[in-house]
Amino acid sequence: MKLVRNALLLLCFFPSITFGVLAAEIFPWAILFFIASIHLIQPRLLVSSGMLILPLLISAAVATTNFSGADSLRSVAAYLNVVAAFIVFLSLRQDAVEASCRLVKNVLIFLIVMGVLQFLNLLGFLEGVLSFIVPRASVTSLSEMGNRGVTLLSSEPSRAGVEIVYLYVLCRLVFIKEKFGIFLDILCIVFLLTIIKAVQPLAFGIFAVSLFLIKKPSHAVAVVAILLIGLTLGVNVEEGRAVVLLETLASSGSFSDAIFFLANESGHRLLTTYAFTAYGFQNPFGAGVGMWPIASIEALRATGVDITQLRYFLIHGDGNYISVRGSGLLSNMMLDVGIVGTSAFIYWVFYATRNIRRKDKTTILVLTLLFVKIAFIGSVGEPLPWIITALALKWNYNLPRNQHIMSRSH
């Protein structure tokens, strides 16, 4: 049983490994690890999580009953995956937290080496193996697809980049001395810029490492400046689109023109974030878990935006409204369960971490990254941000006892 748990623990850090068993891009390794570790989970977390999940299950059941096209099973599984990941890692004993932190360091080193080898096209002999364990991954850089970068063991460069940022953040907190921090921060950004080549993780990475540099509130201005500089440096990341974006915004004739340009360049992300959030306020209990194929179209229609002018909908829907999932967990939750369910989820996050939150910079940094991530980036069921958040908070809470971990890494 211990061998199975250790294998599942490792696979939690590679959520895109599906072995082709599921059509989904994320395999529920965290749920399986939760099941194998349920005897170790704190009763308080089990009860509170059960109170959170039960309404989601009821909502999904009602949606399935009322609408044959409801995507209830996959939708509720995505929420279960992040809840399971969070509470199982929040419940780890101190020795398991230390072991998991060392595992994260090894995973990060492995992925960096793999990324360099993929970039140099040296892993061609593993194409069959990689396509089996991660069907959408590539053994080489996706340079022929709009100058995109490597996928690592993920389904796309963007997701791989965000995962690298999260792994690096934990290593930065636990293993890296402050005097080496800025140097390694730069190397992290260079890796994202030259190997991953995706603007979203680049911006998220710059934001993350900038938070380490904030010593007082006024330094937040520097974070914004560094973020803009980083996007400008992305001239070679996606064929100059970052620079074009800044130049176009600067030359926009009006605020509405600037907003339209951003909405067009973001695919459906900016529009769906706004539409789903507004829908959640207008429908406090949401449309129901799994009802997004219908509700997303309703939410988009309610914005009054002429989507025939938006490139994403012209390409994928011939200028018509189509069903889409939003970017970030919170906007999708606003669509599914409204402001009531979303507020309950946010409250649960703070309740689950109340015993391990310190009033310090590290806690603020970790929670800020988490909420930025789930508000704007990625899909619903990605477990890694929740795993890293749990490990970082537990490590920080027991910081004096953790000094020996750091000493072994220097």
* pLDDT per residue as tens digits for the range 269-322: 888 999 999 999 999 999 999 999 999 999 999 998 888 888 888 899 888 999
Q: What is the distance between the alpha carbons of residues 134 and 75, in angstroms, rounded to a whole number?
A: 21
Q: Which two tokens stand for residue 185?
A: 């921060």
Instruction: Give the pLDDT confidence score for residue 222 in this predicted structure.
Output: 59
User: What's the pLDDT band for 385 if we cut at 50, 70, 90?
Assistant: very high
User: What's the pLDDT band for 325 if we cut at 50, 70, 90?
Assistant: very high
User: What's the pLDDT band for 140 if we cut at 50, 70, 90?
Assistant: confident
| Model confidence at 240: pLDDT above 60 | no
| Model confidence at 227: pLDDT above 80 | no
Q: What is the distance between the alpha carbons of residues 272 and 269, in angstroms, rounded to a whole number?
A: 5
Of 235 and 297, the structure prediction assigns the larger pLDDT to: 297
Place of tokens 């704190």: 42
Rounded average pLDDT over 99-107: 97
Instruction: Give the pLDDT confidence score for residue 2 in this predicted structure.
Output: 85
Surface-to-core class of residue 323, CB atoms within 10 Å of its CB (0-12 exposed, 13-18 middle, 19+ buried)? middle
| Model confidence at 253: pLDDT above 90 | no
| Model confidence at 382: pLDDT above 50 | yes
Place of tokens 């369960």: 337
Q: Minimal CA–CA distance to 280: which of 324, 335, 332, 345?
A: 335
Q: How many helices (H) and strands (E) does the chain have?
A: 19, 0
Q: What is the distance between the alpha carbons of residues 291 and 65, in angstroms, rounded to a whole number?
A: 11
Count of CB atoms situated within 10 Å of the CB of 253: 7
Q: What is the distance between the alpha carbons of residues 192 and 177, in angstroms, rounded to a whole number?
A: 22
Instruction: Give the pLDDT confidence score for residue 203 in this predicted structure.
Output: 86
Q: Which two tokens stand for residue 34?
A: 């939760």
| Model confidence at 23: pLDDT above 80 | no
Q: What is the pTM of this model?
A: 0.89
Show Cβ contacts of residue 343 under 8 Å, excluding neighbours closer than 6 positions.
Answer: none
Do 151 and 161 meet the contact criterion of CB atoms below 8 Å apart? Answer: no
Q: What is the distance between the alpha carbons of residues 356 and 95, in angstroms, rounded to a whole number?
A: 16
Q: What is the distance between the alpha carbons of residues 315 and 262, in angstroms, rounded to a whole number?
A: 17
- What does DSSP assign to residue 194? I
Of 374 and 261, the structure prediction assigns the larger pLDDT to: 374
Instruction: Give the pLDDT confidence score for residue 17 in this predicted structure.
Output: 95
Q: Which two tokens stand for residue 252?
A: 């926009």
Instruction: Give the pLDDT confidence score for residue 236 in this predicted structure.
Output: 44
Show Cβ contacts of residue 373 under 8 Å, excluding neighbours closer than 6 positions.
Answer: 162, 204, 328, 385
Instruction: Give the pLDDT confidence score for residue 197 in this predicted structure.
Output: 85
Q: Which two tokens stand for residue 236?
A: 């070679």
Instruction: Give the pLDDT confidence score for residue 408 in this predicted structure.
Output: 44
* pLDDT per residue as tens digits for the range 160-174: 999 999 999 999 999
Least confident of 196-205, 251-260, 339-348: 251-260
| Model confidence at 248: pLDDT above 60 | no
* HSE toward the beta carbon, residue 77, CA cutoff 13 A: 13
| Model confidence at 144: pLDDT above 60 | no
Q: 305 in the Ramachandran plot: left (φ > 0), alpha (ψ -120 to 50) or beta?
A: beta
Show Cβ contacts of residue 330 under 8 Å, excluding neighbours closer than 6 positions.
Answer: 342, 374, 375
- What does DSSP assign to residue 257? H
Instruction: Give the pLDDT confidence score for residue 146 in this predicted structure.
Output: 52
Do 84 and 34 meet the contact criterion of CB atoms below 8 Å apart? Answer: yes
Average pLDDT of the chain to the nearest whole number = 87
For the chain, give every domain's residue range. 2-409
| Model confidence at 29: pLDDT above 90 | yes
Do 34 and 87 meet the contact criterion of CB atoms below 8 Å apart? Answer: yes
Surface-to-core class of residue 342, CB atoms within 10 Å of its CB (0-12 exposed, 13-18 middle, 19+ buried)? buried
